[in-house]
Chain A
Amino acid sequence: MKANNEVLQAKKGNLLQSITQKLGPFLGLLILVIFVSVMNPSFLEPLNILNLLRQVSINALIAFGMTFVILTGGIDLSVGAILALSSALTAGMIVSGVDPMLAILIGCILGAIFGAVNGLLITKGKMAPFIATLATMTLFRGLTLVYTEGNPITGLGDNLLFQLFGRGYFLGLPVPAVTMIVTFIVLYILLHKTPFGRKTYAIGGNEKAALISGIKVPRVKVLIYSLSGFLAALAGAILTSRLNSAQPTAGESYELDAIAAVVLGGTSLSGGKGRIFGTMIGVLIIGVLNNGLNLLGVSSFYQQVVKGIVIIIAVLLDRKKSS
């Protein structure tokens, strides 16, 4: 009986720990939201919340893909460059007369192919993910400049669907936010309810064990990097519509914002541990910081200082909890 009690106690302790672990980022977000709205009540105005949701959607899509990559113990530095290249190619297609929605679809598929290149370099080429994607980042950036000749691509026409894609509203919600939410649900199911998701965790937990237990590790990895590329390209399509043009320098340092969001959401950079829900929270934390600090009139120089400090605190707290 006594022993039973002890087990129960231990279970309770574990449960409490796992709750704080899961809710930690969420509490952080809550505190941040309360702080910003006390300092400037206009933060909670409906239009601002809609703006905020639209503002975070691009980083969210990239960070969702990054979550899968980081869960396998990898990293993808090329997402910002993939975003720029696929955005330029999509815009190029639209200008030359391809139907904009078809162009976006092809652009996303191209993004997946660019991602697959990363995956193949990492699995078949046995390159470290950091190095492989650092190289392809430079490569894709260069190709973007070559393709655009350094100029923004403009003249994307007045197609309503294309404009709606980045700027419109669906049932009162910004379309990019709807895209983000739908993508989140699909990826949540993929990660937590399918064999593919279990394989992702297994690879990050112990790659050798995963390999021995019959998981086709290279195939899963290539698929995950393709997914990351696909989502980067989807984010790029939204950006193209929002900017009504493709910018050759679009998406610079977006990979860092995405990584920051994943880490803020409690996913371990060594792989195997983490949740896509946490990433969504991490994305919102960064979004609220950007939007809130602007509303509070904080100078952009200090904004970067604050963002850096928040990331440090979040990771330190996470370390403390898990030790």
Chain B
Amino acid sequence: MRKFLALFLSLSLLVLSACSMEPPAWAKPDRDGKDLEDLKIGLSVSTLNNPFFVSLKEGVLKEAEEKGIEVKVVDAQDDSAKQINDVEDLIQQGVDILLINPTDSAAISTAVQSANSIGIPVITLDRSADKGEVEALVASDNIKGGEMAAEYIVAQLGEEAFVAELEGVPGASATRERGTGFHNVADQKLNVVAKQAANFDRTEGLTVMENLIQANPDIKAVFAHNDEMALGAIEAINSSGRDIMVIGFDGNDDALKAIESGQLEATVAQQPDLIGQLAVQAGLDVVQGKKVEKNIPAPLKLVTIEE
């Protein structure tokens, strides 16, 4: 029995000693110094099925083009596992800077660590990474944005107005942060009578809003965590014939049009192209050995019909 135990222990030791967290040395690619013009940027986007991230990508491409730098773009289609594969593929293509717009902060950690192990600097866009070494995070100040929306409602409708909230994908960082910011102000000055998730989706925004109107006839304003849901909510409100103020978040093209036509009251506009540009600049600074801020806030602005 003791012999068996000893055999088992030594065998498992043997197996363990054959394991490692690093790829084998023979498989690591060679990397050597390069000029600025020869740099290659890899951009991994969470999804290109959303105009916001398309603008973000455009911002990166525009800034890189001005500097004469090549960009490789991959699209994770909102699948965390695919994104890790995508980033591995970018590393394989020999990119020098990785710009990652994570689908999820926790899930992206592995990919960031793989980049770290080969020494490629990582900048995250819009969302952060929980683990691994990230040079900088370029993102809108979502908490501030939520507060801006709530303060606007207070300014327009006065305190204790009845409001509803359309939440984004439960657990997504934008949902948490925008919600937190909104409630920072709203919990004291407004009456949030209903909140429901509509998953950042226009169709769901429509159906959820229909239900909310049925259940809460005295709603005076709605804060949606993004424009898509806000635009869906407007359709529901129009067909119900009520007068409810809608505030969106993001400032995408459709939302700006809706503000012009007076259907959408306001939106807290992010500037995704600016996020992309700032990220490229930060990446280049890192490669050139300059110091960059860990958190680079991209400005937000409240767009109303007056602007």
B86 A294 Cβ-Cβ under 8 A = yes
- Taking CB atoms, residues of chain B closer than 8 Å to A170 are 15, 18-19
B81 A168 Cβ-Cβ under 8 A = no
A169 B84 Cβ-Cβ under 8 A = no
Does any Cβ of A come within 8 Å of B94's Cβ? yes
- How many contacting A-B pairs (Cβ < 8 A)? 120
- Taking CB atoms, residues of chain A closer than 8 Å to B82 are 290
B106 A47 Cβ-Cβ under 8 A = no
A245 B106 Cβ-Cβ under 8 A = yes
A290 B85 Cβ-Cβ under 8 A = yes
A interface residues, Cβ below 8 angstroms from B: 40, 42, 45-48, 50-51, 55, 58, 145, 148-152, 154, 160, 163-164, 166-172, 175, 239, 242-245, 247-250, 252, 290-291, 294-295, 297, 299-301
B106 A243 Cβ-Cβ under 8 A = yes
Most buried by B among A294, A297, A299, A301: A294
**How far does the alpha carbon of A211 sit from the alpha carbon of B94 in the complex, in Å?**
58
A290 to B: closest C-beta gap in Å: 7
- Taking CB atoms, residues of chain B closer than 8 Å to A301 are 48, 75
Q: Is the interface of A mostly helix, strand, loop or mixed?
A: helix
B interface residues, Cβ below 8 angstroms from A: 15, 18-24, 26-29, 48, 72-75, 77-82, 84-86, 88-90, 92-94, 104, 106-107, 109-110, 130-131, 169-171, 197
Q: Which residue of A lies closest to B45 (CB)?
A: A300
- Taking CB atoms, residues of chain B closer than 8 Å to A163 are 21
Q: Nearest 3 CB-CB pairs, A to B?
A: A150-B170, A300-B75, A151-B171
What are 5 sample pairs from A and B whose C-beta atoms fall under 8 A apart? A48-B89, A51-B88, A148-B171, A243-B80, A245-B107
B164 to A: closest C-beta gap in Å: 19
- Taking CB atoms, residues of chain A closer than 8 Å to B197 are 150
Q: Which residue of B lies closest to A145 (CB)?
A: B170
A243 B92 Cβ-Cβ under 8 A = no
B91 to A: closest C-beta gap in Å: 8
A244-B107, A300-B48, A301-B48 known; A154-B170 Cβ under 8 A: no
- Taking CB atoms, residues of chain B closer than 8 Å to A290 are 82, 85
- Taking CB atoms, residues of chain A closer than 8 Å to B109 are 243-245
A243-B80, A243-B107 known; A295-B48 Cβ under 8 A: no
A160 to B: closest C-beta gap in Å: 8
Q: Which residue of B lies closest to A252 (CB)?
A: B79
**How far does the alpha carbon of A299 sit from the alpha carbon of B93 in the complex, in Å?**
15
A154-B106, A242-B84, A243-B110 known; A149-B171 Cβ under 8 A: yes
- Taking CB atoms, residues of chain B closer than 8 Å to A150 are 169-171, 197
A297 B72 Cβ-Cβ under 8 A = yes
- Taking CB atoms, residues of chain A closer than 8 Å to B74 are 294, 300
**How far does the alpha carbon of A294 sit from the alpha carbon of B91 in the complex, in Å?**
11
